[in-house]
């Protein structure tokens, strides 16, 4: 297992549409293990393969609170098959460190995917899990949280990222 570098905006690779995973191979299993270690070290509650420069349709999510046991879920070739309602949730993103904004998402989604054992899964997700699934699934299509913001909020978020990059260079 290894902690991988997380791509940060404006890295152009974050805009690429990921390709489907053919099969759950030993290589994919190693990637999942690296993603777990990377996400927990960041720390974050979700991580998509494209965020570490791997253009595969794969993401992981763990929305358990710090004092709760892990609730890690692996989504391979996920598909959101239905969306219901609307919710506004304050989101952050490991590719946008320091940026937190209210984003409107579906309140409930039904997601279909393959798990880390190669088994098909389908379930409803709402609350933080539902938001995280939608956020990470967007990464697989090259869609970023700033794409869900209005013009003013997007400009403010991008300015914050530029300031952070400038101060990191000093």
Catalytic positions are 136
DSSP line for 14-66: GGSPPBPP----HHHHHHHHHHHHHHHHTT-SEEEGGGGT--BSEEEE----T
Cα angle, residue 154 at apex, residues 129 and 125 outer, rounded to 5°: 10
Residues across the chain: 170
Strand partners, 82: 110
Question: Taking a C-beta distance cutoff of 8 angstroms, is the pair 22, 145 a contact?
Answer: no
Element containing residue 121 per DSSP (H, E): strand 120-126
* CB-count exposure of residue 12 (10 Å: 0-12, 13-18, 19+): exposed
């Amino acid at each position: 297992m290894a902690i991988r570098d997380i791509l940060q905006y404006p890295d152009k690779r974050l805009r690429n549409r990921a390709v489907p995973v053919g099969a759950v191979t030993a290589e994919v299993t190693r990637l999942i293990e690296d993603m777990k270690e990377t996400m927990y070290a960041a720390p974050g509650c979700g991580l998509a393969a494209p965020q570490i420069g791997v253009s595969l349709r794969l993401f992981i999510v763990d929305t358990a609170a710090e004092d709760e046991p892990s609730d890690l879920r692996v989504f391979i070739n996920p598909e959101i098959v239905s969306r219901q309602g609307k919710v506004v949730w304050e989101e952050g993103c490991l590719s946008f460190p320091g940026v937190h904004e209210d984003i409107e998402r579906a309140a409930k989604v039904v997601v279909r995917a393959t798990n880390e054992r190669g088994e098909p899964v389908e379930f409803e997700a709402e609350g933080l899990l539902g938001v995280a699934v939608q956020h990470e699934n967007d990464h697989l299509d090259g869609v970023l949280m700033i794409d869900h913001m209005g013009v003013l909020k997007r400009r403010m978020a991008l300015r914050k990222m530029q300031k952070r990059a400038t101060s990191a260079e000093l």
